[in-house]
Amino acid sequence: LLVNDLLTLSRLEGSPMPSATDWHSLTELTMDCEREGMALSSLMSPLGHVMSFVVPPDLYLAGAQSELVSAMSNLVSNAVRYTPGGGRVDVAWQQLPEGGAEFSVTDSGPGIAPEHIPRITERFYRVDRSRARETGGTGLGLAIVKHVAQRHGAELHIHSVLGKGSCFAIRLPASRVQRRA
Ligand code: ADP
């Protein structure tokens, strides 16, 4: 809903920076987003999607739980909404060699032409208005994702090939990642 997304954005702007000492298990963070993604998939298409969720069990992340879940869910929801039924959506967390961690959502959807990529995180920017109307977004999802990423010192990376699919990745710095036995 537009109102919800606008509220989320203005709340982000007014709230204190996310904690650097509040640790959350990646397994738990990803569980909500997995449940939502699966439900949305069967809602969008009778075929559903082939979905995978891969999460290392011992990784912890410092930050604002609701913000992180909202960013993750937005990326999964986009992948499901833009990828036709029967397609693939692969969601994964992995630790990076220098100690950071990456959350990635890879889909086999329509892809995004290179000229649009620098602009899709702008508020209300949409590649294809008619398609966006069908898929029921607000045009604010990626603006929220980018904002949450920035507040956590993370980067949003977008890689996409027209006709093949897209990969959206949030890379968090080592200072916010912990491996626990
Ligand atoms: P929307 O509510 O329109 O989905 P977003 O900010 O989440 O708003 O995304 C902006 C635009 O980026 C979308 O309208 C769509 O054109 C494009 N987009 C986002 N994610 C994907 C994806 N996984 N595959 C193809 N296009 C995408």
Name residues contacting ligand 1 (CB within 6 A).
Answer: 78-79, 82, 107, 109-110, 112, 120, 125-128, 132, 137-143, 166
Give strand ranges (E) for 84-180.
88-95, 101-107, 155-161, 165-172, 177-179
The 10 Å Cβ neighbour count of residue 53 is: 17
Using CA atoms, how far residue 68 sits from 6, 48, 111, 140, in Å, is 17, 25, 24, 16
Looking at ligand 1, which residue's alpha carbon is closest to its atom 21?
78
In this prediction, residue 37 carries a pLDDT of 96
Contact indicator for 148, 66 with CB cutoff of 8 Å: no
Ligand 1 centroid from CA 126, angstroms: 6
Ligand 1 centroid from CA 22, angstroms: 30
In this prediction, residue 135 carries a pLDDT of 66
Ligand 1 centroid from CA 138, angstroms: 9
Per-residue pLDDT of the chain (181 residues; tens, 9 = 90+): 788 888 888 888 888 899 999 999 999 999 999 999 999 999 999 999 999 999 999 999 999 999 999 999 999 999 999 999 999 999 999 999 999 999 999 999 999 999 999 999 999 898 887 665 566 778 899 999 999 999 999 999 999 999 999 999 999 999 999 999 7
In this prediction, residue 19 carries a pLDDT of 92
Using CA atoms, how far residue 120 sits from 67, 112, 141, 151, 178, in Å, is 20, 9, 10, 19, 31
Structure tokens at 152: 């956590």
Ligand 1 atom with the shortest distance to the CA of 139 = 8
The 10 Å Cβ neighbour count of residue 147 is: 21
Ligand 1 atom with the shortest distance to the CA of 83 = 24
In this prediction, residue 133 carries a pLDDT of 58
In this prediction, residue 14 carries a pLDDT of 84
In this prediction, residue 88 carries a pLDDT of 98
Ligand 1 atom with the shortest distance to the CA of 143 = 6
Ligand 1 centroid from CA 9, angstroms: 17
Ligand 1 atom with the shortest distance to the CA of 126 = 14
In this prediction, residue 138 carries a pLDDT of 83
